[in-house]
Amino acid sequence: MRIVLLGAPGSGKGTQGEKLVAHLGIPKISTGDALRAAVAAGTELGKKAKATMDAGQLVANEIVIGIVEERLAQPDAQKGFILDGFPRNTAQAEVLEGILKRLGKDGISKAVHLHVDDEEIVTRLLLRAEKEGRADDKEDVIRHRIGVYNAETKPLLDFYGKQGKLVTVEGVGSLEDIFSRILGVL
């Protein structure tokens, strides 16, 4: 199974993704984790990414895409994977389809959208910031992040919806209830 997890910051992608890893026995691939792993492994793309990161700049889209492709080619991803944080827009989704084709894999099986109302997300992230002592997560910053996410993701929902691969799950309730809903649509 090849799954893309979609959802705003604070929607529960990380938590539910880890539950899916345990249940399905396939890796969860986060772009941030894949980037750090490529740097640690000293791959060519990892070296390029490290130079950019050391200079305090954002890693170029081409490098991120290359690192995702390297990660998807690894043995543990052959039976399937869960992508978290990639693709972020329609252009990246189209590139992902090309990567999978080059690797001899079928396209994405399901795009699971964890839907949570914006106000609930603000509440969750403010609580998380308070618990973790994060002074940088202010309400205006959170609302801006949600706005950016909504602007980037809406076209992705349409992209996967037109392919018949999008499933939307309400991301509110107990962790077990949400997980059961996800399993119910897979």
pLDDT for res 35: 78
Dihedral of CA atoms 120, 5, 181, 155 in degrees, nearest 10, equals 70
Question: What are the structural domain ranges in the chain?
Answer: 2-26+80-181, 30-78
Numbered residues of the known binding site: 10-15, 31, 36, 57-59, 85-88, 92, 128, 134, 145, 173
128 is catalytic: yes
88 is catalytic: yes
pLDDT tens, residue by residue, 112-148: 999 999 999 999 999 988 888 766 678 888 898 888 8
**Which of these is catalytic: 47, 79, 101, 134?**
134
Residue with tokens 């249940």, as numbered in its chain: 23
134 is catalytic: yes
**Which of these is catalytic: 88, 105, 143, 165?**
88
Numbered residues of the known binding site for AMP: 31, 36, 57-59, 85-88, 92, 134, 145
**Which of these is catalytic: 105, 143, 145, 165?**
145
**What does the H/E/C string look like for the chain?**
CEEEEECCCCCCHHHHHHHHHHHHCCCEEEHHHHHHHHHHHCCHHHHHHHHHHHCCCCCCHHHHHHHHHHHHCCHHHCCCEEEECCCCCHHHHHHHHHHHHHCCCCCCCEEEEEECCHHHHHHHHHHHHHHHCCCCCCHHHHHHHHHHHHHHHHHHHHHHHHCCCEEEEECCCCHHHHHHHHHHHC
Give the CA distances from residue 73 to residues 37, 62, 81, 118, in Å, rounded to whole numbers and listed in that order: 14, 17, 11, 36
Fold of 2-26+80-181: Rossmann fold (3.40.50)
pLDDT tens, residue by residue, 70-121: 889 999 999 999 999 889 889 899 999 999 999 999 999 999 999 999 999 9
Give 49 or 177, the one with higher predicted confidence. Answer: 177
Q: Are 52 and 59 in contact (CB under 8 A)?
A: yes
Within a 13 Å sphere around the CA of 153, how many CA atoms are in the beta-carbon half? Answer: 22
**Which of these is catalytic: 13, 48, 50, 110?**
13
Q: Indicate whether 52 pLDDT > 80.
A: no
CA distance 13 to 83: 10
CA distance 171 to 31: 22
